[in-house]
Amino acid sequence: MKQVAGVSEVTDEDFEAEVLGADLPVLVQFTAEWCGPCRQLAPVLGAIAFEEGDRLKIVQLDVDRNPRTTITYGVLGTPTLMVFQGGEPVKSMVGARPKRRLLEELSDVL
């Protein structure tokens, strides 16, 4: 599993173990290499991963390389942010956003 600034990369193969089986809530960024807003969001997610790592796990999933998980959760655009808790998706947001707004939107799961 690759890590970029505190944000791990997951795949179709390890999604179940890393996300659905996690003890903490998990924020999954469905991303793509060609996605500009995804790149904008990367430092925001890295900062939140660093600050909230004891309460929230943050991972990325490349939609082009992992179509099975992307289709399973109905992801149509990038970046899509999905929060999983207890193996279930509990929140979904589409588009890049500033750190303060993202933390506000995550306050109910932190």
- Give the active site residues: 35, 38
Distances (CA, A) of 99 to 4, 49, 71, 80, 83: 17, 11, 27, 15, 16
